[in-house]
Amino acid sequence: MSNSLLTNLLAFYEEDPTDPFNVYALALEYLKSSPERAGELFDILLRDHASYLPTYYHAADFFAAKEDNDKAETIYKDGLALALTQSNVKAHQELQRAYRNFLDELEY
């Protein structure tokens, strides 16, 4: 692999695959080169690290772009509920805007 960032992120992930940030950072990097692997990592995050709030924005956007609209909508809704539970106003606002944009796109 010529991508040193990807190489470093893989090393961090291999060192501690239970750290949600390692999985999240790797998923974001794989969006550039291997979307399938990014999707697998988002699924791992949503299943094994459901309380890791940063996942929801990017995972919902990813699945919406793949036109998996039911899954994307579920992820948006789950993220919005989690943001409220965690009292994270900024994340809730960002997710709400993204969700509204997603719904607007579905109408067209």
> Is residue 71 over pLDDT 70?
yes
> Is residue 2 over pLDDT 70?
no
Q: Are 67 and 85 in contact (CB under 8 A)?
A: no
Q: CA–CA distance from 52 to each of 1, 97, 105 (Å)?
A: 28, 19, 26
Give me the amino acid identity at 64. Answer: A
As a whole number, mean pLDDT of residues 75-93 equals 98
Q: Both tokens of residue 63? A: 């699945």
Q: Both tokens of residue 75? A: 């992820």
> Is residue 68 over pLDDT 70?
yes
As a whole number, mean pLDDT of residues 52-63 equals 98
The residue among 14, 18, 23 whose CA lies nearest residue 42 is 23
As a whole number, mean pLDDT of residues 20-36 equals 96
> Is residue 1 over pLDDT 60?
no
> Is residue 41 over pLDDT 60?
yes
Least confident of 1-5, 11-15, 97-101: 1-5
- Global confidence as pTM: 0.91
The residue among 15, 12, 46, 16 whose CA lies nearest residue 29 is 12
